Amino acid sequence: MLDEVKISSAIIEKGLRRMREITRVDVVIAGGGPSGLTAAYYLAKDNINVVLFERALKLGGGMPGGGNGYPFIVVQKTALEILKEFDVNFTPYDEEYFIADSLETTAKLTAKAIDAGAKILNLISCEDVVLIDDRVQGVVVISTPIEMAGLHVDPLTVRSKAVIDATGHSSEVTRTLVKKGGVRLNTETGGVVGEKPMWVDFAETTIIENTKEVYPGLFVCGMAANAVFGGPRMGPIFGGMFLSGKEVARIVKESL
């Protein structure tokens, strides 16, 4: 006979163990879009203890929606090695542009990151950072439904050696640090410079240069990197996101 209470107990026990496991980790990633998932995979693959928090119910950020709802993404030649690493199928459009299914890519990035050992928690928002001795040393997390309901409920804290802001256009973690910490970032203005209008070619090259430590302990990748350092947007081409995720994993690993 199947037992209702056993099912609940199994989930509660596993869930509590998971939460306990992730209160002190090597790396926290805020945001489960293409760049955050790629970073999670490359860190976990090298045995780094990494947890990724995603505010939404689903993973993938802006990727599953493809371009204007057509479920496809374009990936340029220089990023094909990453699609291959994730076993994503792709078809050439011409010599430079390749097309992948946005849902398949989302599913495979997610599965590979988890298989490599990354812990991924959805429905959790990073609402603040831990700032001690002028260094980001973790994040403050709250359950998304509590956040959405606007309830006055205190959050929990996760300590880490590095935090990666992979929150996309909003670059929310970095903005929160500036707003609340009153700190000066490693940017031209000392603050979040802000995303510039569309310029695909420049956006896709500068995103790699913008993938870096923006404040001691805090790294930016993906669209957040261009938003923080003032790079342009690029539309539904995703090579830059994958390359940036891989690059931030490399830089963070070096810093540990």
- Member of 88, 113, 178, 224 binding ligand 48H (CB under 6 A): 224
User: CB-hemisphere CA count at 13 Å for 192?
Assistant: 23
62 binds ligand 48H (CB under 6 A): yes
Task: Out of 22, 25, 48, 55, point to the residue binding ligand 48H (CB under 6 A).
Answer: 55
C-alpha distances in angstroms, 35 versus 4, 6, 96, 233, 250?
A: 39, 38, 21, 14, 13
C-alpha span between 54 and 61 (Å, rounded): 9
Binding residue for ligand 48H (CB under 6 A) from 166, 183, 220, 243? 166
Q: Which of 53, 86, 215, 242 binds ligand 48H (CB under 6 A)?
A: 53
Q: Which conformational region is residue 157 in: left (phi greater than 0), alpha (psi within -120 to 50 degrees), or beta?
A: beta
Does 233 participate in binding ligand 48H (rule CB under 6 A)?
yes
Decide: is 31 part of the binding site for ligand 48H (CB under 6 A). Answer: yes
Dihedral of alpha carbons 102, 115, 41, 15, sign: positive
State phi, psi for 73 to the nearest 5 degrees. Answer: -125, 155
CB of 63 to ligand 48H, least distance (A): 5
* Interacting residue with ligand 48H among 22, 25, 28, 32 (CB under 6 A): 32
Query: Which residues lie near ligand 48H (CB under 6 A)?
Result: 30-36, 53-56, 61-63, 125-126, 166-170, 172, 222-224, 233-235, 241
